[in-house]
A = this chain, B = another copy of it.
Amino acid sequence: MLIGSIEAGGTKFVCAVGNEDYQVQDKISFPTTTPDETLAKTRDYFKQFQLDALGVASFGPIEIRKSSPKYGYVTNTPKAGWRDTNFIGQLKRTINVPMAWTTDVNGSAYGEYVMANLANEKLDSLVYYTIGTGVGAGAVIDGNFLGSAGHPEMGHTFVKRHPDDLQFKGVCPFHGDCLEGLVSGPTFEARLGQKGETVPADHPVWDIMAYYIAQAALQATLIIRPDKIVFGGGVVSPALLEKVRQQFTTLLNDYIELPPLSQYLVRPVVANNGSATLGNFALGYKELTR
């Protein structure tokens, strides 16, 4: 069995082939330019292989309702040139195999869900947040994705502002100080005029970040009641995650019973941002055997 994976990010595409046992046999990555050019490169890559199925996880927003005439499209994205791109349609010009289509964060969520359960974690449900250039999350519940009217946009809810951060207006072009506007990577430049990597570990901004990310985890916890919440993306280092756990403990105030936070609020089990590729293999295989 040979299954393809496309992880379509706003900055780069990662294409891979592997099998239903989650072994990556080949992998390539290239920058995201125009839809025509990027999707032609993608088709060219897969021409080398005899695929049985393909899993695609894309940046968004995307149309995931099979009943919609725009199923398989990237829809009203702010990314230049990509609005209303028939992503799946362009692939189908040369690739004629069963295709799964979901968001980048859903792909990662699925990879984490599958790999954790292979490691015998016995999860019924999992939420995966990415906190990087943007903020988003996907949720898997009993093997299905959360979101029937569309995919979640959990990065755009509002949170209680930190008392030492009230003057910061946030960077989200749609919502100002929504979660993405307060904790995405570009907020370091906006707040401090420097990149996140250069901010010392004892800078108070980390407590502010942790306060907001803990509230995101609290929203996911109290609304979805998942078995585990995973934080991917470039912003949440192990040190920040430990601060998030502390703030989460304070905010939750023992209101509900949870697993130890060291097992509940965690970094990905799949190394090197590989969750989406493995998730795509699983989703492609599921589509094939549906």
> Which A residues are closer than 8 A to B by beta carbons?
61, 124-125, 137, 139, 141-142, 146-154, 156-161, 174-175, 177, 215, 218-220, 222-227, 251, 253-258
Contact = CB atoms under 8 A, between A and B. Distances in A.
A85 to B, nearest CB: 17
Given A149-B258, A150-B257, 7 more contacts: A124-B149, A147-B225, A148-B226, A148-B227, A150-B225, A151-B225, A158-B219
A223 B157 contact: yes
Contacts of A125: 148-149
Given A175-B251, A175-B255, A255-B175, A218 B149 contact: no
List the number of copies, as a whole number: 2
Contacts of A219: 157-158, 219, 223
Contact of A225 (B152, B177, B222, B226): B152
23 contacts: A61-B256, A124-B148, A125-B149, A141-B146, A141-B148, A146-B225, A148-B225, A148-B226, A149-B226, A152-B222, A152-B223, A152-B224, A153-B222, A153-B256, A154-B222, A156-B255, A157-B223, A158-B159, A158-B215, A158-B251, A159-B160, A175-B253, A219-B219
A190 to B, nearest CB: 18
A66 to B, nearest CB: 12
